[in-house]
Chain A
């Protein structure tokens, strides 16, 4: 469970998060949408402790995260742009992260197979294509079976086949009762993977609730239309 209370953050004079309140119950899959620069990535980075908030607090399973790092054991994160140390081979990277985690049981073999990464294992990260790097990121995020999964535009660099592979995996994780938080600009992806939707504009949450309710409210067939209407309302 992730609880965000009164979270504010500004970079210089620009306010990115404005007293954000959010509760993500355990086992819920939530998608965050919003225009570019609305604070989606900053929200995620704050939960991960990468960005330090100006005000407010974040609790993961009831524990305040500031000054705390053990909670990251429970989180798997896949960043927007997968960039990893260039000289490391894929295998070295996996082994390194395993060592960092104290060699706890991991399922990377299964994930490597799932994504068909076997042929890439001895290649340097620098020589990997963007899509394969993204897959490495996906393996890293799920290999320790964490309770909370955070994906920041996960399928942005993936080809359709890998994208389907990835989504299948996330659905499995969802069925296992994992808490999932993802951002994306592809509405169909949220329809497929999430049950709840957060619409965020200029660091404020404008809508947070079940996806079907939003679609019904706006008398639309698809999420895309409903979100477009939300955005239009915002702009007006």
Chain B
């Protein structure tokens, strides 16, 4: 109940800051443009998910790590009230993660509605993209929170780790996978590759998108291995389960850290 009170005030504050509206508008504009130029079909859908795979982690991680510094006063105010630290943590987290997920959903859905895409395409594909975007928002905000808590006294360090983390997961990781394949191509590396793809939540999300749209040409090595190993539907289930544990682990570590912290 008290978490709800905390959430309510933070949302009010976020809307006053207006950037969350801008964040939703960015998705609106991008989706609108992609649908206009790519037609209301799977092609536009795929482009939207590619943007989502880059932008959602970036914003979630950076804002997640900065948010704690920014709401320092609010946090300190709450800490001296008769509140459990757990309640405060979830209030702060939900105060950011839920609006981020909502902004994404809103920005992507609106152009789909007026372009008629929502009604012409398979519902489960669209739902899949939306749910993935929402999960990624929660996941990366959680990682951002964890980084922010770990470097609570040093915001430059926190921001740095968030940026480098994003760069690593979104861009460098693929290069490393390719390098590993290039060097170790003669050995049976399918299973280690499978493990490697599970170690990167962005990769997991991409694999889910590709399995859903069944585009083997774009699947990349890890995607192809995933497909061969699990097949489409089981592959999606396994990838989703790993994504969920990716969401939970940083959050659980974050709460336990927050409970023990000196503030």
Q: Which residues of A contact B (CB under 8 A)?
A: 11, 45, 48-52, 69-73, 75, 77, 79, 83-88, 92, 96-97, 99-101
Partner of A87, one of B17, B78, B79: B17
Q: How far is the CB of B88 from chain A (nearest CB, A)?
A: 10
Chain B neighbourhood of A87, CB < 8 A: 13, 16-17
Is residue B186 within 8 Å, beta carbon to beta carbon, of the partner chain? Answer: no
- Asked if residues A84 and B73 are in contact (CB atoms below 8 Å), the reply is yes
Pairs across A and B, CB under 8 Å, 27 listed: A45-B262, A48-B79, A50-B76, A50-B79, A51-B263, A52-B260, A69-B83, A69-B85, A71-B82, A73-B82, A77-B80, A79-B80, A84-B73, A84-B77, A85-B9, A87-B16, A87-B17, A88-B9, A88-B13, A92-B9, A96-B9, A100-B2, A100-B6, A100-B78, A100-B81, A101-B81, A101-B82
Given A88-B9, A100-B2, A100-B5, are A70 and B82 neighbors across the interface (CB < 8 Å)?
A: yes
- Asked if residues A83 and B73 are in contact (CB atoms below 8 Å), the reply is yes
Chain A neighbourhood of B79, CB < 8 A: 48-50
- Complex-state Cα separation, A52 to B260, whole angstroms: 7
- Complex-state Cα separation, A49 to B82, whole angstroms: 10
Using CB atoms, name the residue of chain B closest to A82.
B73
A-B complex: 9 closest residue pairs judged by Cβ atoms: A72-B82, A73-B82, A51-B262, A85-B74, A83-B73, A77-B80, A99-B5, A69-B84, A50-B263
Q: How far is the CB of A59 from chain B (nearest CB, A)?
A: 17
- Asked if residues B80 and A85 are in contact (CB atoms below 8 Å), the reply is no
- Complex-state Cα separation, A75 to B81, whole angstroms: 9
Using CB atoms, name the residue of chain A closest to B83.
A69
Chain B neighbourhood of A101, CB < 8 A: 81-82
Interface 0/1 of B60-93, CB less than 8 Å to A = 0000000000011110111111111100000000
Using CB atoms, name the residue of chain A closest to B1.
A102
- Complex-state Cα separation, A97 to B9, whole angstroms: 11
Q: How many residues of B contact A (CB 8 A)?
A: 25
Is residue B249 within 8 Å, beta carbon to beta carbon, of the partner chain? Answer: no
Q: Give chain B interface residues in 232-263, CB to chain A under 8 Å.
A: 260-263
User: Which of the listed residues A48, A85, A86, A87 has the most CB atoms from chain B within 10 Å of its own CB?
Assistant: A85
- Complex-state Cα separation, A100 to B6, whole angstroms: 8
- Asked if residues B262 and A69 are in contact (CB atoms below 8 Å), the reply is no
- Complex-state Cα separation, A83 to B81, whole angstroms: 15
Using CB atoms, name the residue of chain A closest to B261.
A52
- Asked if residues B74 and A69 are in contact (CB atoms below 8 Å), the reply is no
Using CB atoms, name the residue of chain B closest to A71.
B82
Chain A neighbourhood of B74, CB < 8 A: 85
Given A52-B261, A87-B16, are A100 and B73 neighbors across the interface (CB < 8 Å)?
A: no
Given A87-B13, A88-B13, are A72 and B81 neighbors across the interface (CB < 8 Å)?
A: yes
Chain B neighbourhood of A86, CB < 8 A: 73
- Asked if residues B82 and A96 are in contact (CB atoms below 8 Å), the reply is no
Q: How far is the CB of A197 from chain B (nearest CB, A)?
A: 25
Chain B neighbourhood of A70, CB < 8 A: 82
Using CB atoms, name the residue of chain B closest to A141.
B80
Q: How far is the CB of A98 from chain B (nearest CB, A)?
A: 10
